[in-house]
Amino acid sequence: MDISAGFYAMFSFTFYFKPTSKTSKEVLTDFNNITSGGNVTEGQIVNFVDADFRGEGLELEALALTKFNPDPAFLNNVSDPLLNAWSKTVHGYWTQLIRGTNSSTLCTGGSCESSLIPLNHTFVVPGANYVVCPLVFIVPKLIL
């Protein structure tokens, strides 16, 4: 198998976030089928990924932040008008960062595999397009 380092780097991080669309045995069989002949083309890898994996991040869904106060009292302590406006804008981003587990997309019954550990509560992600597993945010949630 002759895959350049750049090509491998392009795909290696992506696989972690993609649940399979088949059983792990089927995915491994499909991968062995494309690699058994020696050199693997980019097209073969793209086709393999498209056929054997689902989209990343589908297991998470944006949720509404209940009881959100858009104008908390602590922002009144920011006396500079420019900084106050900026602080209110940044504070408003909290409403875009709340996620929950979309149970309708979870792998069940052995028909697919996923690295996601489903959570039974909401959590905060560090960016609106974040798809990485949210485990690092469990501890702060429990402390709060």
Give the tens place of pLDDT for each residue, 54-91.
887 788 888 888 889 999 999 999 999 999 999 999 99
**pLDDT tens readout for residues 16-31:** 678 889 998 998 999 8
For residue 52, count other CB atoms closer than 10 A to its CB: 20
Confidence of residue 129 (pLDDT cuts 50, 70, 90): low
Predicted pLDDT of residue 106 = 81
Predicted pLDDT of residue 39 = 83
Contact 21, 53 (CB under 8 A): yes
Predicted pLDDT of residue 141 = 40
Counts of helices then strands in the chain (DSSP H, E)? 5, 3
Confidence of residue 131 (pLDDT cuts 50, 70, 90): low
Contact 52, 21 (CB under 8 A): yes
Q: Is the pTM of this model over 0.85?
A: no
Domain locations in the chain as residue ranges: 5-52, 60-143
